[in-house]
Structure 1
Amino acid sequence: MIATCPIREGASRRPDAEALAFAGRSWTYRALDVEIGRWVAALQARGITAGDRVALLSANHPACVFLFFALGRLGAVLAPLNARLTKAELAPLVEDVAPRLRLALSSLADHLPGAEPLETWADAVKTPAPTCEPLAESTARVVLFTSGTTGRPKGAVLTEGNFRASARCSEANLGTHPAPRWLGTLPLFHVGGLAMLTRCAYDGGCLLLHDRFDPEAVNRAIDTEGATHASFVATTLERVLDTRRDLPLPESFRLALIGGGPVPAPLLARARAARLLALQTYGLTEACSQVTTERPTEADGRTAGPALPGLEVRIVGPEGALLGAGREGDIELRGPTVMAGYLHRPEATREAFRDGWLRTRDVGMLDERGRLTVLSRRTDLIVRGGENLYPMEIETVLAAHPAVQEVAVVGVADARWGEVPVAFMVLRAGHAMPGDLDGWCRHSLAGFKVPARFLSLDALPRNAMGKVERTVLRSSIVSLSGGGGDP
């Protein structure tokens, strides 16, 4: 199947419909088509062609939208980088991407050496280019980095077909809407943010883009700007309800997708009392966002729902044997939303698949109705406010401290963030607990990865094989209510 830019299609079919809004400005499909054309011309002037990769470091900004669709019209690939990472964390990702061009918001430029300013990059171009190459479903559109529990982050390559299928499968579950208006508070360097952007474009809707999550701005968009859909994690959902003091939402708001882990039952009850239909979901970067989602007419908050129409999910044992309802095992999936593979990582790509099924390495079970319960978001993974944290990355930084002999990082339940990382350390002989551990971590890690607590032990608990028993460490702390500070 061959497709063309959905913004060009929208400019032809509904030119005056609103396509994008940001900070008091808005663009119709016609105006957005022209703006994207200017960016196409600017990219062509720099020699960007099909297959080239462009690295982007930015918070949410309209220029990110212009760039994404402009690259699509050329068959080029966007590599959006997490704007919360440090310069040291970004360096190996950029090396993997080997971009022809680097762009960054001016405030982030020092984190991406060689980057040109995103905000003004195409200002000198006045005449839009008409170029709009047709795209095969297999055409790569983005490289999004995602980490396993070990090793260097891997760049998942998502295609035009992946994004179109994700939008199609989601609409089949949620129902059609004549003009959806999605609240764009998720960052466009995450798969969830890009899925919202593309979903709006394919469905003829409007993305209400925000540069960051602000509960007051979210509620204004819901109450006065006609927002119909949103995506939250449990912490942001709670902040929205707190800010509006549980005032019922207008009927124009249809529903919110909730990711980043299970939502506490009392919070779901609160949302429903405020007439906010919150649907729990399970997804991952390698599957272009959603995999399972509760059905709007059957949502009870007990599971992450069944597979989206058009996708398949199964539970298997360690050797790949299919497990029945109620049996715990590895979550695997297949369907048109599954990535093409990992950039420059053929061995990792092969390991990610089993007989055509994507091996998520998450653990869960299906009930008799095919609804998924996720039991573990990958071995040892910590999910903090929707952000995935990997213990080994944090442990590597702490282990380099001169006072630390051994360290193990685990996730502990937290009332505000869902989970926060806690570091258990064995100190070297003659050393007291260092007072600079927080600053030591922040030098190399983004703030949301810094442990909420640093605890000293005489020895780390280990099993007969010599592996650290993280469950023992985790059970030593019941909860860090309200801890963790700002990410």
Structure 2
Amino acid sequence: MNLSQKLHETAEVSADKTAYIFMDQKTNYRELDMAVSKFSNGIKKLGIKKGDHIALIVGNTPHFIIGMYGALRAGATVIPINPIYTPDEIGFIINNGDVKLVVTLDVLLPLMEGINRVTPQVEHIVVCPTSKEASSEDLETLNIYPKMKPITYVLESGEAVYEEISVDDDDTAVILYTSGTTGKPKGAMLTHKNLYSNASDVGSYLKMNESDYVITALPMFHVFCLTVVLNAPLMTGATLLIMPKFSPKEVFHFAKEYSATVFAGVPTMYNFLYQYPDGTAEDLKSLRLCISGGASLPVSLLKAFEQKFSVLVSEGYGLSEASPVTCFNPLDRPRKPGSIGMNILNVQNRVVNELGEEVPVGQVGELIVKGPNVMKGYYKLPEETAAALKDGWLYTGDLARVDEEGYFYIVDRKKDMIIVGGYNVYPREVEEVLFAHPNLVEAAVIGVPDPNLGEAIHAYVVSNIETLTAEDLALYCRDRLAKYKVPAVFEFLEELPKNTTGKILRRALKNQVSQTI
């Protein structure tokens, strides 16, 4: 059994049950399954075969669900991409991921024109209309992009006939690109078994069922949403309430209008909801479950949110390489604020020392994970794969401890990683861009506390001219980095602190910031 097969099975059993609501329009499971089959058969007409890679750049729309499940039904591998990435960032993923077909929205075609020039291996661009009026007749207007690859509205070209391509459990279903410490993203290869098992186990652990209405405000291309807010609910016959983008106002509206039962978000979202002046406990009274992940939720915010809205917020832990969930606070026993919870079904977590030996209760070590949800490796990166996967265990790089009852706590994140609004940012990735500036001699990036985003990026730079300004650098970065990766502050120094070997001392920079806060 895989995700596509399970969706078809659900559509046969609960054909008239609403699968999702988008822009106040309801789509049932029969209609969704037919759209998936049309998409699957349509891309096969374009020459997509089992094992080929396709990219989804469609944001939070039904096209993401149809595109992903349709590609899986055709035996293809899906690479979700953040639409707000720059052409250079998207181009790298498309090229490194050996993408043959790109699925995007008509409103993103100007972005695709820039990407088109640096992705010669892409054979087709599939355009999904963003309005009811858009149709295949609009293809005539696309001639303004003369160098674009062949374009088609594929949703209209395939037959609505269910036809599942046989795949093995260990075949790669999705490649999720995560920020890499080398400055370039790494593609975590998740198999059909990885995704199906984690969605099934998460759904069971959280007691999801066909009566649930799940607010889908997290970005679908992110693994948190992919498993917890998309795959798991669809496996149980629940209804998705799809939000194109997060908005506190809309979350309260969706919760009240549709009697939503589940909300999942990163700490930043909970902070914005808490601060929204017009939100009330009455609006959220139907919620049976609030889930937080992506970063540590400050205990003070957790308690304030729960008191204001009379709901319980449960934290969990995961990472892309584990599909992603490994821990979650149990629903049938006391939750521990500040803890990421306990092992979920079929997944083991351990805290070990540098020799891989389990440490005593309460002692800090590296968190390692084992289970059917752990990735098969990084795409085309055997050395990085060998470093992360040892004897069947995934080494997360996160420091943690476990208490006597089996509750885990994250003590520190991966070295130097910055989490901005739930998104991982590695300093090296930003520094690579800064180092390319002709008037910068040195650069170092760290994370600093931010009341809204959890962390913000603080850049220390050394310039070879006196006229360079922070505004100049911000503009320079915006052209080369996604918005959330652009430093919020640029601080000019005469020299960066270093040790005797010339290595920049990030800890000294962090101490400098902490003394000024």
The alpha-carbon distance between structure 1 residues 235 and 4, as it changes in their structure 2 partners (threshold 3 A), is closer
Shift of 1:116: 3.5
- Which of these residues, 218, 233, 242, is aligned with residue 200 of structure 1? 233
In structure 2, the partner of 1:344 is: 380
In structure 2, the partner of 1:213 is: 246
Measured against aligned partners, the alpha-carbon deviations of 1:422-481 in whole angstroms (never above 9, x if no partner) come to 011222266665641110111111111111111122222223443222122112223999
Counterparts in 2 of 1:174-323, with a 5 A limit?
A: 174-195=206-227, 196-243=229-276, 244-273=278-307, 274-296=309-331, 297-323=333-359
Shift of 1:225: 0.8
Measured against aligned partners, the alpha-carbon deviations of 1:43-100 in whole angstroms (never above 9, x if no partner) come to 1211222111111212111111111111121211111111121001111211112122
Q: Secondary structure at the match of 1:158?
A: strand
Larger deviation: 445-454 or 259-268?
259-268
Letter in 1 for 2:325: Q
**In 1, Cα distance between the equivalents of 2:184 and 2:338?**
34
**In 2, Cα distance between the equivalents of 1:410 and 1:473?**
8
Whether the 8 Å contact between 1:248 and 1:276 is mirrored in structure 2 is no
**Where does structure 1 differ by over 4 angstroms across 4 or more consecutive aligned residues?**
1-4, 248-251, 429-435
Normalising by structure 2, we get a TM-score of 0.88
In structure 2, the partner of 1:485 is: none
In structure 1, the partner of 2:477 is: 441
Larger deviation: 129-138 or 449-458?
129-138
Whether the 8 Å contact between 2:186 and 2:379 is mirrored in structure 1 is yes
- Paired residues, number: 481
- Which of these residues, 117, 124, 129, is aligned with residue 156 of structure 2? 124
The answer to whether structure 1 residue 155 and structure 2 residue 187 are counterparts is yes
In structure 1, the partner of 2:412 is: 376
Shift of 1:4: 5.4
The answer to whether structure 1 residue 402 and structure 2 residue 435 are counterparts is no
Shift of 1:325: 1.6
**In 2, Cα distance between the equivalents of 1:331 and 1:106?**
43
- Which of these residues, 159, 166, 175, is aligned with residue 143 of structure 1? 175
In structure 2, the partner of 1:326 is: 362
Whether the 8 Å contact between 1:421 and 1:450 is mirrored in structure 2 is yes
**In 2, Cα distance between the equivalents of 1:267 and 1:164?**
33
The alpha-carbon distance between structure 1 residues 308 and 249, as it changes in their structure 2 partners (threshold 3 A), is farther
The alpha-carbon distance between structure 1 residues 431 and 4, as it changes in their structure 2 partners (threshold 3 A), is closer
Letter in 2 for 1:280: E
Q: Secondary structure at the match of 2:219?
A: coil
Shift of 1:309: 2.1
Whether the 8 Å contact between 1:233 and 1:386 is mirrored in structure 2 is yes
User: RMSD in angstroms over aligned alpha carbons?
Assistant: 2.1
The answer to whether structure 1 residue 416 and structure 2 residue 452 are counterparts is yes
Q: Secondary structure at the match of 2:502?
A: coil
**In 2, Cα distance between the equivalents of 1:436 and 1:2?**
50
**In 1, Cα distance between the equivalents of 2:165 and 2:429?**
41
Shift of 1:283: 0.8
Q: Secondary structure at the match of 1:338?
A: coil
Q: Secondary structure at the match of 1:476?
A: helix
- What percent of counterpart residues are identical? 30
**In 2, Cα distance between the equivalents of 1:190 and 1:67?**
15
Normalising by structure 1, we get a TM-score of 0.93
Shift of 1:250: 4.5
The alpha-carbon distance between structure 1 residues 2 and 434, as it changes in their structure 2 partners (threshold 3 A), is closer
**In 2, Cα distance between the equivalents of 1:432 and 1:58?**
37
**In 1, Cα distance between the equivalents of 2:215 and 2:185?**
29
Q: Secondary structure at the match of 1:441?
A: helix
Shift of 1:194: 1.4
Letter in 2 for 1:221: F
Counterparts in 2 of 1:406-485, with a 5 A limit?
A: 406-428=442-464, 433=469, 435-478=471-514
Letter in 1 for 2:217: T
Gaps of 5+ in 2: 117-124, 130-134, 136-152
Whether the 8 Å contact between 2:499 and 2:505 is mirrored in structure 1 is yes
Whether the 8 Å contact between 1:291 and 1:307 is mirrored in structure 2 is yes
Shift of 1:246: 4.0
Larger deviation: 179-188 or 407-416?
179-188
Measured against aligned partners, the alpha-carbon deviations of 1:148-167 in whole angstroms (never above 9, x if no partner) come to 32242111111221122112
Shift of 1:382: 0.3
The alpha-carbon distance between structure 1 residues 429 and 123, as it changes in their structure 2 partners (threshold 3 A), is closer
**In 2, Cα distance between the equivalents of 1:31 and 1:430?**
62
Shift of 1:26: 1.5
